[in-house]
Amino acid sequence: MTQIDEDPKGLSIRFPAWEALMAGRSALFLPRDAIRSARAEPGWTSEVLGVRSGLAVSGYRKLGTFTHPSGTRRLVSMKRGVPLLRLQVDRAETGFDEILLSTAEAEGIARVIPDARA
């Protein structure tokens, strides 16, 4: 499962083993100033994510890069039944507009991100 570590400098995201192949990377660091907003959601989103490069197991797991027809580019690692952390990020700095990550710690991470930027 994707691992997320939060520290005063930002968020470190690690994609272990086969997840790294689907995500196209083994890790991504998000500096705090590149994170525009963070919010926790109860779980899986059913919104249209767009064309994918990665894995989509209908109704269970989505992992990879998704590009919406509007141009929104997302890095996604979602698993049904796990809370979702939705991060709006600076595309110029991260290569993405949004990052969607399933993690049991979604609420706690979302709470500390805005506080750290204030």
> How many Å apart are CA 116 and CA 59, to the nearest integer?
34
Task: Check residue 107 and give its pLDDT.
Answer: 95
Tokens standing for 58? 């209908």
- Secondary structure letter of residue 32 according to DSSP: G
> What share of the chain has pLDDT > 70, as a percent?
96
Mean pLDDT calculated for residue range 90-96: 96
> How many Å apart are CA 5 and CA 31, to the nearest integer?
12
pLDDT band at residue 59, thresholds of 50, 70 and 90? confident
Domain count, the chain: 1
What CATH code is carried by the domain that includes residue 75? 2.30.29
Q: CA Rg, the chain, in Å?
A: 13
**Chain mean pLDDT for the chain:** 92
24 C-beta neighbours (distance < 10 Å), count: 14
Task: Check residue 115 and give its pLDDT.
Answer: 63
Question: What domain range is 30 assigned to?
Answer: 3-117
All residues at 6 or more sequence positions from 47 whose CB lies less than 8 Å from its CB, including other chains: none
| For residue 15, pLDDT beyond 90 | yes
Task: Check residue 116 and give its pLDDT.
Answer: 53
For the chain, counts of helices (H) and of strands (E)? 3, 9
> What are the φ and ψ backbone dihedral angles of 19, each rounded to 5 degrees?
-60, -35
- Model's pTM, two decimal places? 0.92
